[in-house]
Amino acid sequence: MKEKFYILIFILFFSNLIFGQKAKLNISIDDRIETLYSVAYFDNYFLVNKHANIYKNTLDQKLTSLKNHRAVALFDTISKKYNFSYYRPIEWILQYSDFPKFEKIKTKSDAEDETITKGKEYLLEEFRNELTKFNQDSLFQNYLKAIKPINEKIINKILQSKTIRYLPDYLEDYYGTKLSSYNLILSPLIHSGGFNAEITNQKGEKEVYAVIGPNGEIDFYPHFDNDYLETDMILHEFGHSFVNPLSKKYEKEIENLRIKYYDKKLEKSGRQQGYSQWKYVFNEILLRAIVINISRSKFGKEKADKLLEFEKSGGFELVETVSKKLNIYETNRKKYKKFEEFYPVLLNELK
């Protein structure tokens, strides 16, 4: 009996080594992000969402005195004058531990990208101190306690999705590679859209984050539509972590495709969506094509066709061409076990 027991343990251990653990999606509303974006809200920051909701109403009615906090004034300065905007504040704050210690314990994966204008780094330490004081203010602590049940309600609604927990597996199956962690952070104050961030932890592992804002409100509560979250945001934003390193590696080859595809119409469409250079437009088109193809495989043709028509209506007709070229990869997975092996082939196919 003892021999059989040890054999069973060995089989379980060996199976775990061979097949590995399924990827897990961590879902949360993060007090660090909410502290940062409460400061941003009081500063009328342009990337705060435009939807009225219970969070904004509570901030306006019960925390008005915090509008004059030093953290708000400092954020105004560094965001407007010193390039601390867009994804940078999010990427910065994810490197720090939770309040009240709020100490830097991680690093951003792209060390070359500046968080703030060179020479103004000392302002970030000042902002860290002021943000800690803002968070520890008794009024703000009462606010965090008041919204905690609302946060839990929002997360529980998201967890009702039958597919959201499988999205990391879909990504890893498609790209043929794994990431150490997948973290979805919902933020009721962030604009309708989101940010992708890659943070390296103390073990040297890459942690990937998608920080997402609501795409509407229902009865004064932030609404995170499941379709919007799963395809437009999670598959897309996490996809950056698989695709961006390849885009950087093959930047010259991507540039060679400019003459064929980057006409005035596509340039205009790209700029309207916030992408001012061909390499960024191509990267977005590729990611959106991949999301469409994953959706076709996992959610059905109707969903994929709807996504494709949306991209074409926004001027990204090239998505359809790239989507079809990706079929070469998808039908030859024995040859191309990882997407990184197929990437140069795709660029050659698009010549």
Residue length, the chain?
351
Predicted local distance difference test score (pLDDT) of residue 28:
95
Predicted local distance difference test score (pLDDT) of residue 23:
76
Q: Max alpha carbon distance in the chain (Å)?
A: 75
Predicted local distance difference test score (pLDDT) of residue 237:
85
Predicted local distance difference test score (pLDDT) of residue 228:
78
Q: What is the pTM of this model?
A: 0.82
For 207-227, what is each residue's pLDDT tens digit?
A: 999 999 998 888 899 998 887
Q: For the residues of 219-232, what is the DSSP string, one character each?
A: TTEEE--HHIIIII
Integer angstrom CA distances of residue 208 from 148, 213, 240: 24, 17, 9
Token pair 């009024």: residue? 139
Report the alpha-carbon distance of residue 10 to residue 6 in Å, rounded: 6
- What's the per-residue H, E or C state across 240-273? HHHHHHHHHHCHHHHHCCHHHHCCHHHHHHHHHC
- Which residues in the chain show pLDDT less than 50? 1-2, 4-21
The answer to whether the beta carbons of residues 240 and 196 sit under 8 Å apart is yes
Predicted local distance difference test score (pLDDT) of residue 230:
85
For residue 174, give the nearest of 327, 347, 25, 30 by alpha carbon. Answer: 327
